[in-house]
Amino acid sequence: MKHWEKDLPAGYREAMTIDAKSDKKLIVKMTLASLAVLVVFLALAVLWQGKKMLAEPMPLHLALGFWIALIAYLVLHELVHGAAYKMLTGQKLTFGLTLSVAFCGVPEIYVYRKASLIAVLAPFVVFNIVGVVLLAVLPGAWARFFTLIFLGLHIGGCAGDLYNTWLYLTRFQDPRTLTNDTGPVQTFYVPERDM
Ligand SMILES: [Zn+2]
């Protein structure tokens, strides 16, 4: 199956735009969703490991490693989007960072639903696996605590990606749906006659 189009085919119309850079309402909603997820993970971490954490001093190398991992994660999350886009389309990518969003896009083409869904969800899946593996192998209460906080930040940070996924599962189920992704802005196009 073809994963992308260089030009928008005839008979398509613009159906929706998501702007994670300028849409203030959207930015507030995504930030609140991210914070809610973080609070849930913080509560889980404290309930699960709180007692043991009180009994162990916090290892400083873990706290330092946590911050290094977070900064690396910001970059790696976008690189995973990019790797998926590159494999599926082979086209030129764009990366960037604004106050509200870190992004990766493939701005010069229109990507079909399936490929777009894979690229959008790739970091969510990859880093959930990383988090679960770390939880399983890292010893000690503080390591588990930091890993859960990392997972909370990761899943909350995927709010935008999960919103896109939700749209593909509900509003844009047609496999012919095309998306132009500049990074911070996604525009969805659908075949005219079916919508
Ligand atoms: Zn993402």
How does pLDDT run across 45-95, given as a tens digit for each residue?
Answer: 999 999 999 999 999 999 999 999 999 999 999 999 999 999 999 999 999
Q: Is 165 inside any structural domain?
A: yes
Q: What is the pLDDT of residue 101?
A: 82
What single DSSP character describes residue 20?
A: T
Residues 6+ apart with CB under 8 A from 133: none
Euclidean distance between CA atoms 112 and 177, whole angstroms: 6
Which residues neighbour 27 within 8 Å (Cβ) at sequence distance 6 or greater?
Answer: 20, 100, 101
Measured in Å, residue 14 CA sits from the centre of ligand 1 at: 23
**What's the 121 CA to ligand 1 centre distance in angstroms?**
8
* Amino acid sitting at position 72: A
Residue 32 resides in a domain: yes
Alpha-carbon distance of 76 to 11, in angstroms, equals: 37
Would you say residue 170 lies in a domain?
yes
| CA 81 / ligand 1 centre spacing (Å) | 7
Q: Residue 89: inside a domain, yes or no? A: yes
Is 9 among the domain residues?
Answer: no
Q: Are 47 and 136 in contact (CB under 8 A)?
A: no
Q: pLDDT grade, residue 103 (50/70/90)?
A: very high
Confidence of residue 194 (pLDDT cuts 50, 70, 90): low
Compute, in angstroms, the gap from residue 183 CA to the centroid of ligand 1. Answer: 9
In a domain, 1, yes or no: no
Q: Which residues constitute the domain of residue 182?
A: 17-194
In the reported structure, the alpha carbon of residue 160 is separated from the centroid of ligand 1 by a whole-number distance in angstroms of 7
Which residues have their alpha-adjacent CB atom under 5 A from ion ligand 1? 161
Q: How many domains does the chain have?
A: 1
